[in-house]
Chain A
Amino acid sequence: MWEQIRSNQTRSAVLVVWMGVLLLLLGYFLGMYFFDSGAGGLICALILWVIMSLVAYFQGDSILLAMSGARKISHDDHPRLFNIVEEMKVASGLETMPSIYVVDDPALNAFATGRDPKKASVTITSGLLQKLNRDELQGVIGHEMAHIKNRDVLLMAMCSVLLGTIVILAWYASRVLLFGGMGRTRRSSSSGGGGSGQVIIIIVAIALMILAPIMAQLVYFAISRRREYLADASSALYTRYPEGLASALEKLAASTEELKSANKATAPMFIVNPFRKQGMAASDLTSTHPPISERIHILRSMAGASFSDYALAYRQVRNTSKVLIPAAAATAAGTAALRAAQPEAPEKLEEVQRAREASNLMWNLNDYKTITCACGTKLRLPPNFKLPEIRCPHCGRINSA
């Protein structure tokens, strides 16, 4: 497992360097075009990049959590969720327990944040908490834990910052070009006329302005899709039960709710793409996630739970000879047998129970007070409720608040 993480880190590093080179090229040519000095543009691009990276590194997770309106929970708020996260922490051999957040949203999704495995957190929506049974939830949390363990979170944050910088640079440059035209006039007055070199620079600058964001995006997608497959493989290894994640993904795919708090920049952080279209197998280049049906199919055709089993299933399903996990790393990780499903109560009963738990959790997190009337009715009082007593709408008894 460790060898595989390392080999992937080098592979990702190469891709990140490619994006960096793209950014610097863009900066250089825009500098040439606008202020007649490539170095100036280069420095501007670098400064912008460094500032954005620093913000993402130190504040990224808190910004993301605040944006999604996530609430932190403890063991007593929802023991089952807390226990499952702890189980996966133990299975992955992570040293510190990640914090757990819940977003009040009927959409089914989850994401992991945190720049290093020691300061990580896992966030899931209340819809997920309600719809998934124990094994399924375990699979999803295992997937997120794998993102933390493989340090995908930091990599993806850094990649999205690079991508963002490139997009911003290209966007502002194109505005200036369209509406200002000041770079052109200034240069034409200073250098007078301009030879064929000038023309080349202009062409290259414009071409980069258009192409750099697209190319950077493609690289970004490639990195992110690869990470998703690996996280699925790790989740199967941790839980020894790929069926859990497979059936969770099935439920996620079937849900039509869209996550309110997601946007394009944060999309790769989630377990499934929050913007997917119904019934579309987006297996093209422009997707941050592999198509869900394919992920489910791979998980279901695994003969065991080890990396080599996943790699084999991956090759069979996708019908390629592309190597997802280096063979040496896969065999070094050893073999792993599948385990049996957890015993569960009948599905209907469970779902009602889970819905009740999830809604209780959200009431409590929003500081609502709960009073149980003598007739068994539960009264929820909002935090700004000031009256000393309340009448039960069901039986008419007066309860003191």
Chain B
Amino acid sequence: MTIAIWVVIGIVVILLFVFIGIYNGLVRLRNQVKNAWAQIDVQLKRRHDLIPNLVETVKGYMKHERGTMEAVTKARTLAQQAASAGVGERAKAEGELSSALTRLLAVAERYPDLKASQNFLALQEELTSTENKISFSRQFYNDSVLRYNNQTQMFPSNVVASMASFKPGEFFEVTVAAEREAPKVSFT
């Protein structure tokens, strides 16, 4: 009788430890997803900050491209407004901004004076790099979400996840087709 009680207590204690271990693992993964998201946020903000500078530099050279420049400014405003929205909506707004920027940079290729300006070259480097950082941070974020979601769906951690209500993470997908491909620039 007493042995049976001890066995039951032992099993309960072991289960408790397993539960704690799995729970902590899930929390760690969820925090990683959060950190990765914060990284994307930093990079998107940096891009928003670069745009007024870019428009200012480009304005003097590209007098006849008002529409392209206005599209970028507008897309930036929309993206900034979407900053507090959900992952999906935000991805969409940022995708629009990306394609507007790509168009502006493609048009800039037609202005040799602009392309030779030191200021523009420096800005272009920053912009290229920020685009890269956005896609790298998105890559890391999606990898983290995948790992976290796998853990919340696989046995036995899915039991713990549903008990402690761990919600699955949302992927940061690019919805605009133009942004999927790296901008193609011709030098002819």
Using a CB–CB distance below 8 Å, which chain A residues touch chain B?
A: 1, 79-80, 83-84, 86-88, 90-93, 238, 240, 332-334, 336, 339-343, 345-346
Contact = CB atoms under 8 A, between A and B. Distances in A.
Interface in B122-160: 122, 125-126, 128-129, 132-133, 136-137, 139-140, 143-144, 146-147, 150
Given A79-B122, A340-B181, 19 more contacts: A79-B126, A80-B125, A80-B129, A83-B126, A83-B133, A86-B133, A87-B133, A88-B136, A90-B43, A90-B140, A92-B140, A93-B36, A93-B39, A93-B144, A334-B147, A341-B182, A342-B128, A342-B182, A343-B183
Contacts of B182: 339-343
A346 B188 CA distance: 11
Nearest to B140: A93
B66 interface: no
A345 B185 CA distance: 9
Contacts of A238: 136
B187 interface: yes
A92 B39 CA distance: 12
A342 B147 CA distance: 28
Task: Sort chain B's interface into a size bin.
Answer: 20 to 34
Interface in B153-188: 181-185, 187
Given A339-B182, A343-B184, A345-B187, A86 B146 contact: no
Given A86-B133, A343-B182, A343-B184, A91 B140 contact: yes
Given A238-B136, A340-B182, A90 B39 contact: yes
A1 B129 CA distance: 25
Contacts of A343: 182-185
Contacts of A92: 140
Contacts of A342: 128, 182
Nearest to A88: B136
Contacts of A240: 139
B136 A91 contact: yes
Contacts of A334: 143, 146-147
A87 B133 CA distance: 5
